[in-house]
Amino acid sequence: MAKGDPAATKGTPSRRARVEAMRDEQRRAERRRSRMIVGSGVAVSALLVATVVVGMQIQKANDPARKPIASFGVPLAAASCQPEITSAASGVNDHVGPGTEKEDVTKVTYDTVPPTSGPHFAQAAPFGRTFYTARDRPAMETLVHNLEHGYAVVWYAESLPQADRDALRDLAGRLAKERGKEKLVVSAWDPAYGALPSGSTVAFSRWGAEKGYRQLCGAVSGEALQAFMDRHPSTDSPEPNAA
């Protein structure tokens, strides 16, 4: 086609229009892809935030420190707890063992199982430690000194299943954060001091200002322990202000 041919001049705008149209479509496609990428990023971010929030809520709900006390173990009605037993209390400031005038007395024969008062070692178990196993438990005479200071001591039998021991450990940590219930120790029972009565896997002890109190149960129950501690607060003890 010769230069200056009118047909060539007519075709040029058409080609330009097609090129511009293709470029416009390409730009629109790029904008669509950008919007999709941004939208996907927002959706993923929202999902991640929701996952974190839900995870935190689940963790919070399962945190033993936040669970209701009655949710540990079984309800009181299902714990097979025997009626509480009251006995005479004795042994205030009656220290035995190393560093005392009765240093040859290294094992005390207590009047009750579990003990609620009596002679004891000069040093109590430290405040703040709430759970002991058979491998690291303090001597019975040490924990009786804790009783004198207003502690509730919870003893568990060797036959208690591990899941129930874990529940007791978590319960002790939960109660220790409750105002007025900070003085609490859970320990494996030492059968060298007698056997817990048949059918009893958990026992509670308190040394009151005038009497000793104990209760035996067949199962772990946060509700039962809370009720026992409410009946016998740490202020009702020979030495309520001692650590």
Instruction: Round to whole Å and give the CA distance between 191 and 200.
Output: 13
pLDDT at 185 over 50: yes
Which one-letter DSSP state was computed for residue 98?
A: T
Question: Minimal CA–CA distance to 220: which of 208, 204, 231?
Answer: 204
Say if pTM beats, i.e. exceeds, 0.95.
Answer: no
pLDDT score recorded for residue 59: 47
- 50-59, 154-163, 186-195: least confident range: 50-59
Residue 63 above 90 pLDDT? no
Whose tokens are 């094992």? That residue is 107
Q: What pLDDT is attached to residue 25?
A: 79
What is d(CA 243, CA 119) in angstroms, rounded to the nearest whole number? 18
183 closest CA partner among 144, 224, 153: 153
Chain segment 131-171, per-residue pLDDT in tens: 999 999 999 999 999 999 999 999 999 999 999 999 999 99
Mean of the per-residue pLDDT values of the chain: 88
pLDDT > 90 in the chain, percent: 72
